[in-house]
Amino acid sequence: MSPEPSDDSSPLGRRAFLGFVRVGLSSLAWGGAAMDLVAQSTRLVPESLRAVLPFGKGWRIYAVNPPHPTFDPATWRLRIEGLVERPQTLTYAQLRALPRARQTSDFVCVTGWSVDDVRWEGVRFDDLLAAVRPLPRARALRFVSAEEPYEDSLTLAQAREPDALLAYAMDGGPLERKHGAPARVVMPRMYGYKGVKWVSKIVVTDRVEDGYWQQRGYDRDAWIGGSNGR
């Protein structure tokens, strides 16, 4: 069929194939650093174009059980229970009446994108837990989302970090539905999957339990730059 010589032991095409595969496999070592460089450069890309890029800056909304839970201020309740002296059920108005904390922090997703300087408003966990009074053996908080079966936990020490909060407002307005309305966990120094959205219940426990993504292999202590192989 083909007039080309057929006794060449290492033809050009085969060498090209093997070289290509070899370089590709070597990127398993250096590809992460290269991708970070490219992600940095997306700061120069206009906002409207960033939505088509899978990395870089700007929100991407992930859901595990669509559609997003709905929020009705009249019927919404936040239940706080578990190892506490006085379990409590807060209305939206009661949540908003608690001491208000404000902060500006970055949001980093484990899949590679991030959002700089998000303005959050909400409640520090010490203020939230003051009324329920955790028992001495309480060690962790389990956040249960209205988007079942999503949940995740923080140790009490992590929840008491000065920049952790239960947020109900973002960038000057009430938390939007896609961002977890009416309340979500914000833990800026950990990857975003620790920030449970649509929080409907907080259970005070004596140990950290594996959340949705931990059951799927992600790290429990999701420190940015110090977990999940990054």
Partner 1 sequence: MAVDPRVLFHEPRVLRFGVTERRLHTVHAAAFGLLLATGFMLYLPFVAQIVSDRPLMKAIHLATAALWLTALLLVVVLGDRAALRGTRREIERLDADDLLFLRRRTRAAGRFNGGQKAHAIVQGGLGVLLTVSGALLWLGERDTALRLPGTIALHDAATLLLAALVAGHVWMVTSRPASLEGIWRGTVPASYAAEHHEKWRPASAAEPATAAGRPAGVGASRIVLAALVTAAGLAAAALLVADVVG
| Per-residue contact flags (x/-) with partner 1 for residues 188 to 217, judged by CB under 8 A | ----------------------------xx
* CA gap 185, 193 in Å, rounded: 10
H-type alpha helices, 3-85: 12-41, 47-50
Q: What is the dihedral of CA 149, 218, 117, 168, to 10 degrees?
A: 20
47 touching partner 1, by CB under 8 A: no
Q: Which stretch binds partner 1 (CB under 8 A): 21-29, 94-102, 168-176, 196-204?
A: 21-29
Nearer to partner 1, 1 or 157 (CB): 1
Residue among 181, 212, 211, 213 nearest 199 (CA): 181
- Residues 125-154 contacting partner 1, CB under 8 A: none
Q: Angle 50-55-56 (CA atoms, 0-180°, nearest 5)?
A: 65
Q: Which stretch binds partner 1 (CB under 8 A): 60-68, 79-87, 115-123, 186-194?
A: 60-68
97 touching partner 1, by CB under 8 A: no
Count of positions (residues) in the chain: 230
DSSP-based three-state secondary structure for 205 = strand
60 touching partner 1, by CB under 8 A: yes
* CA gap 70, 76 in Å, rounded: 9
Among 28, 44, 74, 157, binds partner 1 (CB under 8 A): 28
Q: Which residues bind partner 1 (CB under 8 A)?
A: 1-6, 8, 11-14, 16-17, 20-21, 24-25, 27-35, 51-55, 58, 60-64, 66-67, 111-113, 216-219, 227-230
